[in-house]
Structure 1
C-alpha cells in the first residue's frame, strides 16, 4: 500500500510538472521574442495547459485507412508507460524493489525509444510517417551510442552504476571537477535525445510535415507531447545526479530549475542543424572524444596504482 501511494504521488506530480513546464516554455519563448505568450486563460495564462489538455482529450478519434490500427492506438500508451517506469527508480532508497542497478536500467529503458519511433511510422500507413520514422531511427541510434559510452565512462569513474556510488563521488564535487569537459557533450546529446532545437530532426515540421507523428492527434498526440516534457525533466534530474550534487534538497531544486530553463531557452537561440552535420558530430567527434578521455583517465589511474 505504501508503494502504491508513492506511485500515485509520482504520477500526479509528473503530470502537473509537464503541464506547467509547457506553459513555462511558451512564456520564456514569448518574452525572448518580445511578446506576452499565453495570457488570457486564467490569471496570467495559468490555466492554459488545462485548456489545452481538455481540447486534446476531447478530440474525435479516427481510424487509419489500410493501416495497422491496433498498433497505431497502442504505441503512444506503450511510450507513455515506459516513460513513467523510468521515473519510478528514483528516489527509492530500499534494495528490495531494484533487481538491477539504476544506471543500466535507465540505459535499457532509454534504448526502447527506437522501437516506438519505428512502430508509429510503420503503423500510420503514410509516406511522410515512414520517412520521418526512418530518419528518426538513424538519428536515435547514432547519438545513443555516444550517450551509452558516456554512461559507461561515468560508471567506470564512479566504480558502480548505482546512485549510491555516484553520490559518494559527489560529496566533494569530484565528478564536476574531473568530468566538466564531458558536461557539454552530455547537454548536446540530451538535446538530441529530447528532440529539442537545434537537433529536432525527428519532428522537423518544415521538412517532414511533423515526421513520424504526422497521423497522430487528440489523446495520442498529447501522450507523445507529454513524454517529451517528462523526459526533459528526467534528463535534467539525471544531469544533477551524475555531475552535480543532490545531497541538499533546496540546492537540488535550484539546479533542476536552472538546467530546465537552459533546455527551454536553447530553442530560441539556435537554428536547426543540418542532418549530416549531426551525424558527423556524433560519429567522428563525440565518440572519439569520449573514448580518448576514457583512456586518459584510465592511464592516470593505472599510474597512481603503480606509484602506490
Structure 2
C-alpha cells in the first residue's frame, strides 16, 4: 500500500485479451494522473469476465508493463473471474425487487423483430410478461420501464439517456451463464469504493445503464470522466481487434510523452529530457482537466509517432 489517503479512489480496469496498446495506455495514464494529482489511490482491476476472450498470461504482461512505465497501484489486483458470488448476490437483489426477468430470445429472433439502435437491435420486451410455453431461459435482462438517466461528465458534459427507448432491457447475465459487464463493473466499483471513474469515451454510453443499476442496488454513484479514445485512420478504436501495436516495454518515455501530449498535457523540452521518475513528477504536478481535449476521439496517426498533438479546445 502507498502513502496516499483513501479519500479519492480511482481505478484502471483493462481486459487481459492481449498486451497494452497506445489506446489503453492513454486510459491508464489519465486515470493514474487524475488520482495521483489529488493524492488519491489508484487501483487495478482485471476485467477477465469474458473468459473465452482472455489470453493466458496477458494479465501478468499488463501488470509488468504498468510497472515498467512507473505506474504503481494500491492494494491487491481484483480479478472479475473470481467474483461470481458477489455478482450473484446482486442479481438476487434485482430479482427480489422485480427489476429483472428471464429471457428466452435468441439473437436472431431479436434481430428479426427489433428496431435498430446505437448498440445493435433494441430488445422489444418479448419476455417481459413471462416465457412462452416450451421456451427455456437464455439470459437475464433488466426491467427498465420508463427509466431516464442524466449525469454530468467532467469532460463530455451533460448526458441524458432514455434507457428503454434507446437501448431496451439489457442483459445482466448472458446465455453462456457468464455475468455481463454492466452488472459486474457496478458491483466491483461499489465494493472497491471507487469515487471517480476515469476511462475512455467508448464506455460513455454504458454509464447510464450502470447508474440505473447503482440506484437499484443502493450503491453510491461515482463521478465520471470519459477521456477521448485513440482511433486509427479508419476511425476505429485502437484495440486487439483493429490490430493495434503493443507499446514498447523497454523504453517507456517516448510513449508516455505521446500519451501526455494526446491528453493535452504538453510536455516541455526540459521535462521531455528528464528521467522517467522526474517526468511523472512533472506530469502529476501539472495535470490539468482544463487542458483535456473535450472530444470523444482523436486520430492516433502513426502509433509510433511520439509527436502527436490533440486538437486545441475552443
Q: Same fold (TM over 0.5)?
A: no
Report which of the two has the higher share of helix: 1
Give TM-score, length-normalised by structure 2: 0.28
Bigger strand share: 2
